Amino acid sequence: MAEIYDPKPVTVPGFEFEERIAKAAARAEEACEAEFKEIERTARANGEKVLRAFINNKVSAACLSGSTGYGYGDIGRDTLDSVFAEIFRTEDALVRATIASGTAALSTALFGVLRPGDKIVSLTGKPYDTLEEVIGIRGKGMGSLADMGVVYDQVELTADGKPNVAEIFQKVKGAKIAYIQRSRGYSLRPSLTVNAVAEIIKAAKGAEPSVIVMVDNCYGEFVEKTEPTQVGADLIAGSLIKNPGGGLAHSGGYIAGKKELVELCSYRLTCPGVGREAGASFDENRSLYQGIFMAPEVTAAAMKTAVFTTRLMTQLGYKCYPQPDEPRGDIITSVILGDPKALTAFCRGIQKGSPIDSFVSPEPWDMPGYDSQVIMAAGAFNNGASIELSADGPLREPYAAYVQGGLTYASGRLGILCALQEMYEKGELRLY
């Protein structure tokens, strides 16, 4: 007997949460109202800035097509560089889907500018884990900056996790690059607002006027109405599967800053003498243009998710960084869970509330570039895209979940509630 097609949709049960979790979420959301309005104002200002950059640089339908082979004459690729340069108020920019990650963008910039015998000083303490092997703090013989004869030093943060301006003034003398990490990384120090970055740059340039200030801008783009390059940063770099990719970029990174510095970085990206003139964009131009166009609104959704997470988890008795009402310099919220089982349950709940691979159960693993096992939940359309809702953390004290992203606030909110429900069902959630 032939089967009869039934057009009626299959009924799927809705999300069900423990009553105390649902009530806490409603209270937290009500407390976020003023912050949400400010986030929306920032998104509007940044959206106007992006649109002006598209119009001023005469982005056309031809720009959306890609190139193959050497990529010579790729007007889409070259125009996108100009769009990014205008958005970040810089002389030049280098935007490529072939830059593998934020770390790869930072590495390209560092190797592009530094030479044997040069000195780099991190002004914000120890850098993010994946940069340790790039610099040569950890690992030997891999072709790190240290292997190439570059000298490294760092300024330790103060007891409250803030940059030590007095020590910066001393240690930056004689350095070629003063390095600033805007985001907290896998630490609990405050992320840096643009105003905080400006103060650090003032101290560094006051001690060594010729020093090149480079900012790791990952997770910070479009969080505020201004960027570090508007307050004196000479070079910034970041990932396109974070804020500036708008959830649409499939991969990639960017470098922006002074023209002569970006040119040096382009030689590292391809080869000396060729630089930016080569490098096919394949079929990625459209997604990169659409991504940067959508980025202000998508970043706003991630910011709302972050603010909601902080309010809700604090209300439930968990310590979060930043704390409620503290200024934010990035989209990340650190939630101190205090126990490996609680961290694992939280991340597994995030995965259950994801649009992709919701049925997968994350496990801690030895992730390349990290010295501790890491558990990572990211049911993302683009693998590892942390502008999409994700939560991860190293399996070490204080067992903190680093929550970031949310392509939409609605999905971000649900993901956090799924994380709490999973913790509750596993007996790892404190409810009063």
Count of residues making up the chain: 432
Lowest mean pLDDT among 89-93, 163-167, 295-299, 304-308: 163-167
State yes or no: pLDDT of 333 exceeds 80: yes
Residue 323 falls within a domain, yes or no? yes
Mean predicted confidence (pLDDT) in 306-314: 98
What angle, 0 to 180 degrees and rounded to 10, lies between the N-to-C axes of helices 285-315 and 409-425?
A: 50
Per-residue exposure over 280-292, b if at least 16 CB sit within 10 Å of its own CB, e if not? bbeebbbbbbbbb
Residues 288 and 300 in one domain: no
Give the domain CATH number at 137: 3.40.640.10
Residue 409 falls within a domain, yes or no? yes
Count of structural domains, the chain: 2
pLDDT, one tens digit per residue, over 179-225 is 999 998 888 889 999 999 999 999 999 999 999 999 999 999 999 99
Mean predicted confidence (pLDDT) in 241-256: 98
Q: Where are the alpha helices (DSSP H) in 188-284?
A: 194-207, 259-269
What pLDDT sits at residue 15? Answer: 86
**Which of 265, 292, 319 is at the close of a domain?**
292
Residue 57 falls within a domain, yes or no? no
Residue 2 falls within a domain, yes or no? no
State yes or no: pLDDT of 8 exceeds 80: no
d(C-alpha 124, C-alpha 332), whole Å: 17
Tokens representing 26? 């409603």
Tokens representing 183? 């985001």
Per-residue exposure over 141-172, b if at least 16 CB sit within 10 Å of its own CB, e if not? eeebbbeeebbbebbebeeeeebbbebbeebb
Inter-residue contact 392 to 374 (CB < 8 Å): yes
Return contacts of 134-143, CB within 8 angstroms, 24+ apart.
Answer: 134/103, 134/106, 134/107, 134/110, 135/110, 138/371
What angle, 0 to 180 degrees and rounded to 10, lies between the N-to-C axes of helices 19-31 and 33-56?
A: 60
Residues 148 and 282 in one domain: yes
What pLDDT sits at residue 13? Answer: 56
What pLDDT sits at residue 11? Answer: 43
Average pLDDT over the chain reads: 94
Residues 165 and 237 in one domain: yes
Residues 37 and 84 in one domain: no
Residues 190 and 283 in one domain: yes
**Which of 242, 259, 292 is at the close of a domain?**
292
What pLDDT sits at residue 9? Answer: 47
**Which of 273, 292, 311 is at the close of a domain?**
292
What pLDDT sits at residue 12? Answer: 44
Give the pLDDT band of residue 7 (cuts 50, 70, 90): very low
Cα maximum dimension of the chain: 86
State yes or no: pLDDT of 34 exceeds 50: yes
Tokens representing 262? 């970006």
Strands of 112-224, DSSP E: 119-122, 151-154, 177-181, 212-216
Give the pLDDT band of residue 414 (cuts 50, 70, 90): very high
Residues 280 and 175 in one domain: yes
Residues 208 and 89 in one domain: yes
Beta-strand relationship, 374-377 and 177-181:
unpaired
Residues 37 and 91 in one domain: no
Residues 115 and 204 in one domain: yes
Residues 268 and 324 in one domain: no
Residues 132 and 213 in one domain: yes
- What 3-state DSSP class applies to 185? coil
pLDDT, one tens digit per residue, over 358-398 is 999 999 988 776 778 999 998 999 998 999 999 999 999 99
Residues 28 and 131 in one domain: no
Give the domain CATH number at 320: 3.90.1150.60
Q: Where are the alpha helices (DSSP H) in 57-193?
A: 75-87, 102-113, 129-135, 165-171
Residue 331 falls within a domain, yes or no? yes
Kindly report whether the global pTM for this prediction surpasses the value 0.75.
yes
Mean predicted confidence (pLDDT) in 312-319: 96
State yes or no: pLDDT of 169 exceeds 50: yes
Residue 52 falls within a domain, yes or no? no
Residue 89 falls within a domain, yes or no? yes
Residue 10 falls within a domain, yes or no? no
State yes or no: pLDDT of 134 exceeds 60: yes
> Domain span at residue 36?
19-47+295-425
Q: Say what percent of the chain tops pLDDT 70.
A: 97
**DSSP assigned state of 275:** G
Give the pLDDT band of residue 121 (cuts 50, 70, 90): very high
Q: Say what percent of the chain tops pLDDT 90.
A: 88
State yes or no: pLDDT of 82 exceeds 70: yes
First-to-last CA distance in the chain? Answer: 57
